[in-house]
Amino acid sequence: MAPRLLLILVQIIISTCKLTKAATLPNFTSILIFGDSTVDTGNNNFINTFFKGNHLPYGQNFSGHIPTGRFSNGKLIPDIIANFLGIKQTVPPSLDPNLSDDDLRTGVSFASAGSGYDILTTVVTNVIPVSKQLDQFKSYKAKLSRIVGNTEAKDIIQKSLVVISAGTNDFGFNYYLLPFRRAQFDVSSYQDFLQKAIQDYVKELYNQGCRTIAIAGLPPMGCLPLLITARFKFLLDRTCLEDENADARSYNQKLVKLLPQLQASLPGSRIVYADIYTPLLDMVNNPQKYGFTTINRGCCGTGILEAAFLCNPETPTCTTPSQFLFWDSIHPSEAAYKALADFLEKQFVQSIQ
């Protein structure tokens, strides 16, 4: 009898937790993702670019040890958040030709690794700019309408959680490394240029029926292993670049001020800021709190250069990726994404109420 009572008690606790969670969150019908490699679940697999993650060792800790195009060893933030919200376990890429009707009903990712708000950011990599991801979204809406009808499709879009995560490539691989935008803008003006693009983007999503939109700020860019290496800081000094972190902080401060104004201009909208800078910097400064032993290089290869095609089946990897903040020289490990998602989930619950 005791084991039976214990089982009943466990079931009651689980049910109570689910009810509590449901009471604190809106009932999102789907999740729609726009942005760069932090949220691209495989779209670059289907376009002509060298910037792909559809080969091992990417995905080595994903279910089935399958390289799906995600730039990490496992799941990304969209997958973790979709599961947290009770929508589904993983978020498929919108360009996957084998999407099911249920995939479309519950949402997809339109993101493209290497992308940015600035159209010039994608010139070298030939990936899908954030602005062009809107075209994919419109095609998705048309498919959804054919499946469920116009009325239900409109309702699904309105009750979706939209997530936008971009901007790092605009600075890290455009403004800092290429001469064109630096000749036009100082850092502050370039921040304003990108955030004007965000305003226009959110307004277009609103016009397309989206109402709840979470927009990620910039991470501590100066702590990305590849950007540290770009300053010719190879082995002896792998500390974060404070000037690039300062650029990220000032950008985020502007974004925090912008979003409430943008929300006020769009009746019925809920536009929230997703702070990724604070938790990621805390992982750098307090790695032991998260179980990390290595924070200034990735698990793949040397960890200071390898990403995309340089992180390939011939590249050796560390034996304990969960102890690395970064998977390759740019992208966080699944362990880091899980810790980041935990922070964002708490922040989101507070901001959406």
Element (H, E) at 158: helix 150-158
The C-alpha atoms of residue 125 and residue 114 are separated, in whole angstroms, by: 7
The C-alpha atoms of residue 15 and residue 237 are separated, in whole angstroms, by: 51
**Sequential DSSP letters for 19-35:** HHHHHHS-----EEEEE
User: Could you confirm whether 250 is annotated as catalytic?
Assistant: no
Element (H, E) at 200: helix 187-207
Strand partners, 31: 161
- Catalytic residue from among 96, 160, 331, 333: 331
Would you say 52 and 69 are in contact if contact means Cβ atoms under 8 Å apart?
yes
Would you say 17 and 74 are in contact if contact means Cβ atoms under 8 Å apart?
no
User: Could you confirm whether 145 is annotated as catalytic?
Assistant: no
The C-alpha atoms of residue 245 and residue 60 are separated, in whole angstroms, by: 31
Nearest residue to 156 (alpha-carbon basis) of 106, 110, 194: 106
Tokens standing for residue 79: 């997958």
User: Can you state the percent helix, strand and coil of the chain, rounding each to 5?
Assistant: 50, 10, 40
Tokens standing for residue 182: 């630096």
- Catalytic residue from among 30, 37, 94, 131: 37
The C-alpha atoms of residue 216 and residue 221 are separated, in whole angstroms, by: 13
| Cα-Cα end-to-end distance for the chain | 42
User: Could you confirm whether 37 is annotated as catalytic?
Assistant: yes
Q: Under the phi-then-psi rule, with left for phi > 0, alpha for psi from -120 to 50, and beta for the rest, what region is 25?
A: beta
Burial of 10 per CB tally in 10 Å (0-12, 13-18, 19+) = exposed
- Catalytic residue from among 118, 328, 329, 333: 328
Residues with catalytic roles: 37, 328, 331
